[in-house]
Structure formats: structure tokens, C-alpha cells
Chain A
Amino acid sequence: MSNTPFSDGIQAARLDAAELSENFGDLHPRFDDHEALVAADRCYFCHDAPCMTACPTDIDIPLFIRQIATGTPEAAAKTIFDQNILGGMCARVCPTETLCEQVCVRETAEGNPVEIGRLQRYATDKLVDAGLHPFGRADSTGKKVAVVGAGPAGLSAAHRLAMHGHDVTVYDARAKAGGLNEFGIAAYKSVESFAEREVDWLLKIGGITVETGKKLGDGLSLDGLNAEFDAVFLGIGLGGVNALGVDGEDKDGVDDAVDFIAELRQADDLGQMAIGRDVVVIGGGMTAVDAAVQAKLLGALNVSLVYRRGKDRMNASEFEQDLAASKGVRIITNASPKSVIGNGAVREIEFEYTDNDLKPTGQTIRLAADQVFKAIGQTLEGDGLPELEWGKIKVDDTGRTSVAGIWAGGDCATGGDDLTVTAVAEGRDAAEDIHAKLSA
């Protein structure tokens, strides 16, 4: 190993294989049986439980925890999957501290909620690891549905449609299904190829054909799909990355955080992943945190996460912020990028302090940077889409777009937070509406 965290520039192998392996291990290791029983025993089995209400997919949390406590984790998993077929991934990536666990009555009582996320993972892993798929298909309806985008929304919709007996074709632009589960989240949240295994497990339902490398506007047309299929569901996510809009943005070393995250997730050897010595991540959401933390875990000496508003306005949850801080990421708030400085490649980046209304203060700060990751939001890409609103496909409560026969859900559509669990709920609900429409 020739490089260290102190090595200049963007370098691979700043840490040895053992350190990298340790750094990228499971963020929350799975409960063993004993831990799960102890954690499950803490659930009060609340009436009309607040955790259920807080869950975008309405999982019957008290019931599944009771099923774990009584020694039937497989039944618990079925309870979860009934509402959320990607319950395994959601157990790993859901910001439970702002959803179910935030409203747990034991959080109210003791500031220490039942560990719902980890219990969900314990249960769902039982079935996924055993390769047991608890759902079957209804009799074939003879109807065909196209799903564009094999991310959480698309997979959720496809599974529900297949269950109802429709034949589903899922298209995805990438070479692999999974969407953000596969390409868009930190590696330590989905170890041991979980995203890929989960897709394989989900497809056991049957009746779903996945065609990768197919993209709207590049081999696929929405009009064509609408004509060929009985219904179309769009779960295409947000393909575009917002630009900083400052001088020097085109310099070498200035990259999109989503590309870094995707590349890292697909890397066979983390020792081959190059990372700067001084890394600056711009943004305040989960993507920014995932990029910053992983930069640090790869061995960057200094990682700063810079957000233009105050800490309380960051989209990244408090847990994520704390995680970043605990890994040594420096979080700088109320600073807006002004210019990227360097001769060909970035050397420094200048920020101007701003108040919470983004009003410049005139004070500036320069950070050394040999690598800058932009994580200031993604945008919907594509032409000829149904009517948009606020830059997203306008949908009603059941996912219907302005075009008859076309539904949409997940990040590309209006409504709900841009969370995996929300996308799963929207895909599921659109599928139910499609099914109702096709059965009418």
C-alpha cells in the first residue's frame, strides 16, 4: 500500500483492505434471535398504534413485533410484506427516527423507542435469506402492464400487479434492476448485495419480465408503451443532477455525488476507489451524507459537508447528521458556494455565509478541496412526459397522471417525501388502482 490519508490528490487505496472492510461493514448488524426477542418484548402492542400511522406503507407494526415475540418471525415477515414488498430494504434505509420510531410511545415515555427498523430487518431477512416467497399469483387476467423504472416504486407496482394476475414488463435504463436501492444509497446500508438479492426474491412471484438498458427516449417511447400495454406505470426517478451555477464548476475533481455513490456500490474492490485528500460535499440531504461519510470511510483526510441553510433545515435526518459527525465529517452550515478555484483541477472552493433566508452576509470562507461532490438535488429528466407540476409528474392520490392509461409514483411524481418507503407505497397504491381499472 503506497497511499495514506495524507497522500495528495485523488488516490485509491488510502486504507488497507482490512480497514476498508471494517469501515464498510453493516451499519446496524442484524439482531440475533436473543436480541430480537428482547427488543420485541418492549413493544406495548398499542391500540391503533402511532408507529403504524407514521409508516408510509401502513405496516401493522405491533402485530409483526408480537409475531416475532411469539416465535414466528416468518409470519412477521408476511405481515410486513403484505404492505411493503421491499420491507427488507426499508428496514435498512428508512429514517425510522423520523417515522415509526419517532412516534413510538416508548420514545415518548423514555426517549428510547422500540427498535422497529431492526426488528423489521430481523423478520424480513428470515424469509429473504431462506429464499421463501410468501405470495402467489391470482389467475391470469390476460392484461399487460408496462412499468418503467426498476426502482422501489416500479418494483413495488410490478409485484402487486403480478400478484393480481397481470403480466408485467419492467424496463430500466441501467444494466441492473433496483434503482436507488442498487445505485443510490451508501454501501454500509446494504451489505452482502442485499439490493440485488431482494430483487431476485421479489421476482419469485413470477409474471414479471425485466428488461434492462431500456430508457424512455432511448429505445422506449411513452406513446408506444401506452399503445402496446393495457396500462403503464412510470417510476423513473430523478435522473438529472442540479448544477451549482458557480464559476469553475467544470473543473476536474468536481463530480456528482450520485455518480460517486453508484460507482462505489458497484465496485468489486473498494481499494480501487479513488478519493480526494480534502473532500467537500455540497448539499444537506441523505445523498450528501452518504457521499461524505463514504468519502471519509475510503480514507479521505478531511471531509466537509457544506449546506447553505441552517442545520435544522437539512433534509438529512438528525441520525444521519450524527452518523456523519461520528465518522469525522465536518458539517458546515449557512454557507453557499461562490466559486471553484483551481488551475484545471479544483484546489479550493469558496463559500459565502448566508442566513436562513439565503441572504448573503458578505463573509466568505475557503476550503481546500481536491474533490468536490455536488448533492444539491436531482431533477426529473425526459421529454413528452404527462403534465408536470413543480417539476414532477402530476398525479392524483392513486397515481393517475394527466394521460389516461399512465400512472406514476416514486421520486418522479408529486406527493410524499422522496423516500424509498414512500415510493413503495405509491407504487403499490397505483398498482391497486391499475388493477381496479383493468378489472372494471
Chain B
Amino acid sequence: MANLESDFVGIKSPNPFWLASAPPTDKEYNVRRAFEAGWGGVVWKTLGAEGPPVVNVNGPRYGAIHGADRRLLGLNNIELITDRPLDVNLEEMTRVKRDYPDHALIASVMVPCEEDEWKRILPMIAETGCDGFELNFGCPHGMAERGMGSAVGQVPDYIEMVARWCKEATDLPVIVKLTPNITNILHPAEAALRGGADAVSLINTINSITNVNLDAMSPEPMIDGKGTHGGYCGPAVKPIALNMVAEIARNPETAKLPISGIGGITTWRDAAEFMALGAGNVQVCTAAMTYGFKIVQEMISGLSQWMDEKGYTSTADFVGMATPNVTDWQYLNLNHVTKAVINQDDCISCGRCYAACEDTSHQAIEMSEDRVFTVKDDECVACNLCVNVCPVENCITMRTLDVGEMDERTGKPVEADYGNWTAHPNNPMSTAAE
């Protein structure tokens, strides 16, 4: 069986599955249960400065969107950092780390943007025996209004500055948690690197309003008739997070910056995808909040099985393997031709592919009177929409045409050579050799 042991910037854990800093990691009771269930590490719910802790709303904190059968696809929250006193959290962290020395315990921290604040609290927290720090520059609600969280994460200079203070204050690894509420994820990532951060973790939650209560005419979650934007997470944000991870991983300047991948990871496969794009480990929250801590068992067994099947002996074997294949649109091979193929044995004749193609795409699917659906190769542009709307997995697939085979749509045989937009005759900026 594959070895799932993980070493992320020197922090060791029995597996690469950490619980992200969030409600599941807010106290000793939960974290003990998480470790017992099999989680490799936890990032403790964000600690704030000494003194009276923050307060949370006393109405609903979460909103959600659902898919079929009320499957939770996206969760939004307006909860703040820990609302328990710092000393209580530190005592609990100390006990947990003492009892689980082989598991990773990371302290998430958020204090005002002042040097002495950061430099005073980090050594205090280090006393717990924690394995590292995660700087919360991501929370987009509440704390951001007070100049913390994403208010810091949206200003690269602040990220660099605070990261530097922290590195000066501790020898432990410092991970900077990035907010996705920016236009270009490279700027904050590069700033973290300049500040000396050992790694970045991303994404934090996305500014969002999940629903509007049409009776009260208020956003949800609704507090006494009003709502505020929250932070969005869960399966729905995974594509956004994957892209941001990939952007950092393939950017020459940040390519060597370790990444802890976060964002909608629900299954072992999601985790493997983040890691293939360059994340050294992953952090999970919504899936645990939806199904409980036990899901990590599927993540462990699934990742192990897949690694065994692929012959990977450690996670390092495949981390970043997909990164070189992330490219710009302009470099995609325009001479690569595929066509949709409908497997008639698997087809249940729902006609969704037909409706999608006929109404919204290229009229490339034919429907016979007895509901047999076939692809018209002379119309199919291989857009993949039929594949995506088909309710039967792998019923519709894309067949790659062989070199020399006729593309019935263009009337031209498939070319052997790679050819992209940069050299395409239709491109006015074409750099094709004269």
C-alpha cells in the first residue's frame, strides 16, 4: 500500500489531509475526534489577539446552495475567527499536540496589521508546540471590515510586510493563506514569497450572497431582516481554486513556492487533482462539515488505491505532475480534432444531448423517430457539451481523429503537425515563419 506520509515544508503528518482553519477545528473536542477519525493534521481555527474575543452573530451563520437531492454544493459563512479566549485555545492546543505528536497542528493567526502585535503573539502560540503558522489573510467578511483578513490579503505590500515580521518572530514554518477575492492570484503569492513565507495556502472563501429571501427581500443568511456577504466554499468553488493553484505552480517566479491546496475538496480524487497541479498537501473543511470527519477514511483509501494502481509510492511522486500541462489558450494544438461518439448500448434516450446541441450549440446530433441519437460528424465541433449534460457517465465520449483522417466538418484531413494560434493564418499577430 502506498505511503501517504506527508512532509509539507518540514511539517510531518501521517497523510496529506488536513482540516482547514474553520469551525471544525475550533476546539480540543473536535480536533481530537478529527485525529481519531484519521485526519493527518489540523489548522486550528484562527486565533486573534489577547483580550476580549470577537463575538459572532446570534442568528444563522451559514447559507448554502444545493444540487439534486439537496446535495450541498456550496456553503457560505459569516462566522468570524475564534470567539473563545486566546488562553483557552492555547491550553487546548498544547494538550492536543502533546497527545498527538505525530499529527500536524498548525496555528492560524489574525491580529491587527502592526508589527508588535504579530511579533508578540507568535512566540506565545509557539509555546503550544504547534508545528507552524498560517497567516489568515483571507477571511472576506467581518474581520476585513476591521482591516484584517482579506483586507490584508488584497494588498500585496501588506502581505510581504506581515510575512516578514512573522518570519523574524519565529523559526517555525509560516504559511500565508491567500484570498481569492483579487484579480490576479500571482501578485499576493509573489508578495508572500518576497516576505519569506515558507508556503502559501489557497483559496480562502469567496465573497458571496448565496440566496435572497424573496419574502423578506433580504440576503441569506438573514439576521433580523438584513444580510451581509459571506465567504463561499464547498464543491462549487473547486474549479476556481484549482485554477489559482495552477497559476502559482506554473508561474516561474513562484513555481518553487510550496502550496497547500484548499477549495471544495470532497473526495480523494479532488485531493489528487489539487496535488497533481502542484499542491503539496490539501486542506478540507466543507466536506467535513457536510458529512462529518469520517469522510477522511474514503480519502485515505481512495488515494492509496489510486497511487498503488499508478505505481506511486509517495505523494511526492505525483505532486505537480499536471502542472507542465497547464498552458495558455494560444498554445493549444488547433490541429487536434475530436468528435463526440454516443455509445448506443449505454444511451438511455433521454435526449438531453440533442436538446443541448440543437437549441444551444451546433445542431450536430440527429434524433430518429425511435429516439436513437447519433452525432453528425460534419457538424460536430467537439465542444463537449453533450458529454457534460449526459446523465450517464461515459455514454458520450470524445474520439480523437487519427492523423490523415478526414474531418467531415472542415473537409480537410487531420494534420500531423502541432499548430497553434500564434502561427495561425487568421491571427493578425501571427508569428509564423515567413
Chains A and B form a bound pair: yes
Point out residues on A near B: beta carbons under 8 Å: 37-38, 41-42, 44-50, 105-106, 108-109
B residues 342-362 with Cβ under 8 Å of A? 348-352, 354-355
Find out whether the CB atom of B352 lies under 8 angstroms from the CB atom of A45.
yes
Find out whether the CB atom of B69 lies under 8 angstroms from the CB atom of A41.
yes
Which residue from chain B places its CB closest to the CB of A47 in the assembled complex? B351
Contacts A44-B391, A47-B354, A47-B355 given; does A108 touch B70 at CB 8 Å: no
Find out whether the CB atom of B350 lies under 8 angstroms from the CB atom of A47.
yes
Contacts A47-B355, A109-B392 given; does A37 touch B349 at CB 8 Å: no
Q: Which listed residue, B69, B350, B367, B391, touches A38 by the CB 8 Å rule?
A: B69
Bound complex: CA A37 to CA B67 (Å): 12
Which residue from chain B places its CB closest to the CB of A39 in the assembled complex? B69
Which residue from chain B places its CB closest to the CB of A38 in the assembled complex? B69
Find out whether the CB atom of A105 lies under 8 angstroms from the CB atom of B69.
no
Would you give 7 A-B contacts (Cβ < 8 Å), ordered by A? A46-B350, A47-B352, A48-B367, A48-B371, A50-B371, A109-B348, A109-B392
Does B124 touch A at the CB level, under 8 Å? no
Find out whether the CB atom of B350 lies under 8 angstroms from the CB atom of A44.
yes
Minimum CB–CB distance from B136 to chain A (whole Å) comes to 37
Minimum CB–CB distance from B267 to chain A (whole Å) comes to 21
Interface string of B363-405 (1 = CB under 8 A from A): 0000100010000000000000000000110000000000000
Minimum CB–CB distance from A167 to chain B (whole Å) comes to 42
Which chain A residues lie closer than 8 Å to B348 at the CB level? 105-106, 108-109
Does B68 touch A at the CB level, under 8 Å? yes
Which chain A residues lie closer than 8 Å to B367 at the CB level? 47-48
Minimum CB–CB distance from A406 to chain B (whole Å) comes to 36
Find out whether the CB atom of B68 lies under 8 angstroms from the CB atom of A105.
no
Minimum CB–CB distance from B361 to chain A (whole Å) comes to 13
Find out whether the CB atom of B349 lies under 8 angstroms from the CB atom of A108.
yes
Bound complex: CA A38 to CA B349 (Å): 22
Contacts A50-B371, A109-B392 given; does A44 touch B352 at CB 8 Å: yes
Which chain A residues lie closer than 8 Å to B351 at the CB level? 46-49
Which chain A residues lie closer than 8 Å to B350 at the CB level? 44, 46-47, 105
**Chain B: interface residue count, which band?**
10 to 19
Which residue from chain A places its CB closest to the CB of B69 in the assembled complex? A41
Which residue from chain A places its CB closest to the CB of B389 in the assembled complex? A44
Which residue from chain B places its CB closest to the CB of A37 in the assembled complex? B70
Bound complex: CA A48 to CA B349 (Å): 10
Minimum CB–CB distance from B320 to chain A (whole Å) comes to 39
Which chain A residues lie closer than 8 Å to B392 at the CB level? 109
Which residue from chain B places its CB closest to the CB of A110 in the assembled complex? B348
Q: Which listed residue, B68, B69, B70, B352, touches A46 by the CB 8 Å rule?
A: B352
Bound complex: CA A246 to CA B69 (Å): 57
B residues 188-207 with Cβ under 8 Å of A? none
Minimum CB–CB distance from A417 to chain B (whole Å) comes to 22
Which residue from chain B places its CB closest to the CB of A48 in the assembled complex? B351
Since A46-B351, A50-B371 are in contact, a sample of 11 more A-B pairs with Cβ atoms closer than 8 Å, ordered by chain A residue number, is A38-B69, A41-B70, A42-B69, A44-B391, A45-B352, A47-B352, A48-B367, A48-B371, A105-B348, A108-B348, A109-B348
Minimum CB–CB distance from B393 to chain A (whole Å) comes to 11
Bound complex: CA A49 to CA B348 (Å): 12
Contacts A50-B371, A109-B392 given; does A41 touch B352 at CB 8 Å: no
Which residue from chain A places its CB closest to the CB of B346 in the assembled complex? A109
Find out whether the CB atom of B349 lies under 8 angstroms from the CB atom of A50.
yes
Bound complex: CA A33 to CA B177 (Å): 42
Contacts A50-B349, A50-B371, A105-B350 given; does A41 touch B355 at CB 8 Å: no
Bound complex: CA A48 to CA B355 (Å): 9
Minimum CB–CB distance from B354 to chain A (whole Å) comes to 5
Bound complex: CA A105 to CA B352 (Å): 11
Closest 9 CB pairs of A and B: A47-B351, A47-B355, A41-B68, A105-B348, A109-B348, A46-B350, A105-B350, A108-B348, A44-B350
B residues 314-355 with Cβ under 8 Å of A? 348-352, 354-355
Which chain A residues lie closer than 8 Å to B391 at the CB level? 44, 109
Which residue from chain B places its CB closest to the CB of A40 in the assembled complex? B68
Bound complex: CA A221 to CA B350 (Å): 51
Which chain A residues lie closer than 8 Å to B349 at the CB level? 46, 50, 105, 108
Which residue from chain A places its CB closest to the CB of B349 in the assembled complex? A105
Bound complex: CA A49 to CA B392 (Å): 17
Which chain A residues lie closer than 8 Å to B70 at the CB level? 37-38, 41
Which chain B residues lie closer than 8 Å to A105 at the CB level? 348-350
Minimum CB–CB distance from B21 to chain A (whole Å) comes to 34
Which chain B residues lie closer than 8 Å to A50 at the CB level? 349, 371
Minimum CB–CB distance from A293 to chain B (whole Å) comes to 34
Minimum CB–CB distance from B215 to chain A (whole Å) comes to 12
Minimum CB–CB distance from A32 to chain B (whole Å) comes to 15
Which residue from chain A places its CB closest to the CB of B373 in the assembled complex? A47
Which chain B residues lie closer than 8 Å to A45 at the CB level? 352
Bound complex: CA A106 to CA B350 (Å): 9
Which chain A residues lie closer than 8 Å to B355 at the CB level? 47
Minimum CB–CB distance from A49 to chain B (whole Å) comes to 8
Which residue from chain B places its CB closest to the CB of A43 in the assembled complex? B68
Minimum CB–CB distance from B295 to chain A (whole Å) comes to 22
Bound complex: CA A5 to CA B68 (Å): 48
Bound complex: CA A390 to CA B419 (Å): 73
Bound complex: CA A48 to CA B371 (Å): 9
Minimum CB–CB distance from B350 to chain A (whole Å) comes to 4
Bound complex: CA A266 to CA B69 (Å): 41
Which chain A residues lie closer than 8 Å to B371 at the CB level? 48, 50
Minimum CB–CB distance from A372 to chain B (whole Å) comes to 46
Minimum CB–CB distance from B356 to chain A (whole Å) comes to 9
Which chain A residues lie closer than 8 Å to B69 at the CB level? 38, 41-42
Bound complex: CA A288 to CA B68 (Å): 41
Bound complex: CA A109 to CA B69 (Å): 18
B residues 29-75 with Cβ under 8 Å of A? 68-70
Which of A47, A105, A108: most chain B Cβ within 10 A? Answer: A47
Bound complex: CA A330 to CA B392 (Å): 41
Minimum CB–CB distance from B422 to chain A (whole Å) comes to 40
Minimum CB–CB distance from A34 to chain B (whole Å) comes to 9
Bound complex: CA A409 to CA B61 (Å): 60
Minimum CB–CB distance from A127 to chain B (whole Å) comes to 22
B residues 87-125 with Cβ under 8 Å of A? none
Which chain B residues lie closer than 8 Å to A106 at the CB level? 348
Bound complex: CA A106 to CA B352 (Å): 13
Minimum CB–CB distance from B371 to chain A (whole Å) comes to 7
Minimum CB–CB distance from B348 to chain A (whole Å) comes to 4
Which chain B residues lie closer than 8 Å to A108 at the CB level? 348-349
